[in-house]
Structure 1
């Protein structure tokens, strides 16, 4: 028996997105699972957008970063006091985008679209690099979880963003992070 699928209402869609983000923040940080996921064409669009979002930070491009963030987005969405709105997020991330005290890198390991074709969840590892007072580079590994929304102009933008707090990383973990990055989206059959 086939059960009809209802299109979610905006309020229920928002609740579902928050639930995804909150549940995702309990995952342990680490390398992606051994089994490679497969993605639809739409999921690969979000994969490419996620890579572009990360590239905006790597290239210190504040305008490109802002173009990836939804106007009413919430970052640190699993926290008691999330950053709300594109302008506040861009202001709070200015030092990271400029690369002043921290180099932040990330890439998608998984993208999922289900139910509503204009909402996607993405997740993957994140590498934090900073220079300590002794001049030594310190590496920490965490993870990110983002919810993307396809806006009326057809462009995917981050609606919710959160992550797993980074932990100190060994040289092997840093190497695994770099080895795990892929530009091509693993497509389904």
Structure 2
């Protein structure tokens, strides 16, 4: 079974005018192990993000269910593949904004 690991990130912040160099930052937490199903969801999310980054309209469209809803919890929700494609066209065309997420 595939193993998907996500490492934590520790950031030491100075408290006061200068950090005490004699104090080491706390150790990083152990990696989180995810199930194969959880890794599958993450892999699909990465593939979706790549369709935007590569401006691959056909691949983006193929990932959308015909009845998909984007921003479902907001008043400006997008309903259906056609409406989502129309709204996301500037991202896919790269005209207004370049969007990347990881």
Residue 79 of structure 2 corresponds to 84
Match of 1:43 among 34, 38, 47: 38
Residue 70 of structure 2 corresponds to 75
C-alpha separation in 2, matches of 1:91 and 1:33: 37
Structure 1 gaps of 5+ residues are 1-31, 108-189
Q: Which of the two has higher C-alpha Rg?
A: 2
**2:92 matched to 1:97?**
yes
Q: Aligned pairs, how many? A: 76
From the superposition, tell whether residues 102 and 37 of structure 1 become closer, same or farther in structure 2 (CA, over 3 Å): same
Q: How far off its partner does 1:69 sit?
A: 1.7
**2:48 matched to 1:53?**
yes
Q: TM-score, normalised by structure 2?
A: 0.66
C-alpha separation in 1, matches of 2:48 and 2:88: 13
Q: How far off its partner does 1:33 sit?
A: 5.8
C-alpha separation in 2, matches of 1:64 and 1:84: 19
Q: How does 1:129-144 map to 2 (within 5 A)?
A: none
Q: Flag the structure with higher strand content.
A: 1
From the superposition, tell whether residues 37 and 70 of structure 1 become closer, same or farther in structure 2 (CA, over 3 Å): farther
Describe the SS at the equivalent of 2:99: strand
C-alpha separation in 2, matches of 1:75 and 1:82: 6
Describe the SS at the equivalent of 2:74: coil
Q: How far off its partner does 1:99 sit?
A: 0.9
Q: TM-score, normalised by structure 1?
A: 0.37
Residue 106 of structure 1 corresponds to 101
Q: How far off its partner does 1:38 sit?
A: 2.2
Q: How far off its partner does 1:37 sit?
A: 3.2
